[in-house]
Amino acid sequence: QWIYLNGQYVKKEDAKISVYDHGFLYGDGIFEGIRIYGGNIFRCREHLDRLYDSAKSIMLNMPLSMTQMEDALCETIRRNGLRDGYIRLIVSRGPGNLGLDPLRCPEAFVVIIVEQLAIYPEEAYRDGLRSVSVSPRRNLPDALNPKIKSLNYLNNILVKIQANLAGVGEAIMLNSQGYVAEGSSDNIFIVKRGVVYTPPCYIGALEGITRGAIIELCAKLGLPLREEPFTLHDVYTADEVFFTGTAAEVIAVREVDGRIIGEGRAGPLTSRLLDEFRKIVT
Ligand code: PDD
């Protein structure tokens, strides 16, 4: 396996970064998770747009142009000979000193990892995941803006720990006002009486690329979709609940906090959206 390490291609065992890298010391950096389907990078430009917007927002100088970054992604995929897989693109503030001042980090550091991926077994897409709501709250735009896909994932890790303790696949995070925001690494949707709902991103959700693809698919299929704030009550009483994300794609939820959702397996609209999603990616 070959890793892109700031302009060089090195073996996985040799892919090392400085202990003075501010991505390591402070979580100071940004990243993207991207899929390759049949040799094509899914929505590459959208991922790069989000990455470069995140960089601009945190005043991180990108060492590569968007075209150079795309070339680096393609070359890393080529060297690893993968037609289907997952790309993790990381840009840290780079090596500096122990102080947190980013002025001490003259150059950002780029890492690209490409590997195979299977986060859920195929049955999970039919049967649905169990889920729970958890206590960590999603930051609102007045704190660290959820639109920035930053390397600071501690809150998401705390969510994942609670999911693990509850023995479930993904958890539901609320914002500080109690509205449903998203999962630890997925966006959330519910379906009620034929209408699809997802929280608007200002509630405290990443503007997911998969979320965007599902919103487009709903329009194409003539399914009514509303971006509206909702609460756990709406999740418990929904006909269907599902998560979306680059790694998870479209995964149904069959139970939330002990309440069975719909028939207790992937509902018809969720299954249809997953089928249609898999058609557009391949
Ligand atoms: N997840 N919300 C959070 C907090 C995320 O980390 C992610 C991405 C999403 C879904 O966004 P997208 O559809 O653009 O992947 C929502 C990881 C990194 C992933 O699935 O690769």
Averages of pLDDT over runs of 10 residues in the chain (282 residues) are 97 97 97 97 98 97 98 97 96 97 97 92 96 90 84 94 97 96 97 98 95 98 98 98 97 98 97 97 86
Biggest alpha carbon–alpha carbon distance for the chain = 56
Residue that is last in its domain, among 74, 92, 115: 115
Check: complex ipTM more than 0.95: yes
Which helix (H) or strand (E) is 191 found in, with range? strand 187-192
Mutate to test the pocket of ligand 1, among 246, 277, 281 (most ligand atoms within 8 A of CB): 246
* 127 and 265, same domain (yes or no): yes
* Four-residue CA torsion sign, 221, 226, 230, 233: negative
* 165 and 243, same domain (yes or no): yes
Identify the residue whose C-alpha is closest to ligand 1 atom 8: 185
* 95 and 20, same domain (yes or no): yes
Work out the number of other CB atoms within 10 angstroms of the CB of residue 187: 25
Report the separation in Å between the CA atom of 119 and the middle of ligand 1, taken as the mean of its atom positions.
13
* 88 and 137, same domain (yes or no): no
Compute the distance between CA of residue 53 and CA of residue 5 in angstroms, rounded to an integer: 22
Which residue is it, tokens 């930053």?
150
Q: Domain of 97?
A: 2-115
pLDDT in tens, 226-269: 999 999 999 999 999 999 999 999 999 999 999 999 999 999 99
Nearest Cα to Cα of residue 112 among 60, 156, 160, 69: 69
Residue that is last in its domain, among 81, 115, 149: 115
Check residue 153 and report its DSSP letter: -
The pLDDT, as a whole number, for residue 243 is 98
Compute the distance between CA of residue 196 and CA of residue 173 in angstroms, rounded to an integer: 19
Structural domains in the chain (count): 2
The pLDDT, as a whole number, for residue 231 is 98
Report the separation in Å between the CA atom of 206 and the middle of ligand 1, taken as the mean of its atom positions.
7
CATH of the domain at 133: 3.20.10.10
Task: Classify 107 as helix, strand or coil.
Answer: coil
With beta carbons less than 8 A apart as the criterion, state whether 148 and 30 touch: yes
Task: Classify 72 as helix, strand or coil.
Answer: helix
* 82 and 189, same domain (yes or no): no
Mutate to test the pocket of ligand 1, among 88, 155, 187 (most ligand atoms within 8 A of CB): 187
The pLDDT, as a whole number, for residue 144 is 80
CATH of the domain at 18: 3.30.470.10
The pLDDT, as a whole number, for residue 282 is 80
Which helix (H) or strand (E) is 70 found in, with range? helix 66-80
* 148 and 83, same domain (yes or no): no
Compute the distance between CA of residue 41 and CA of residue 37 in angstroms, rounded to an integer: 6
- The CA-atom distances, in angstroms, between 106 and each of 72, 95, 101, 231 are 21, 8, 11, 44
* 138 and 216, same domain (yes or no): yes
Q: Could you tell me if the CB of 182 is within 6 A of ligand 1?
A: yes
Tell me the sheet residues that pair with 172: 133
Report the separation in Å between the CA atom of 149 and the middle of ligand 1, taken as the mean of its atom positions.
9
Q: Could you tell me if the CB of 210 is within 6 A of ligand 1?
A: yes
* 102 and 173, same domain (yes or no): no
* 190 and 258, same domain (yes or no): yes
Residue that is last in its domain, among 62, 82, 115: 115
The pLDDT, as a whole number, for residue 119 is 84
* 95 and 176, same domain (yes or no): no
The pLDDT, as a whole number, for residue 118 is 79
Catalytic residue set: 149
Q: Could you tell me if the CB of 27 is within 6 A of ligand 1?
A: no
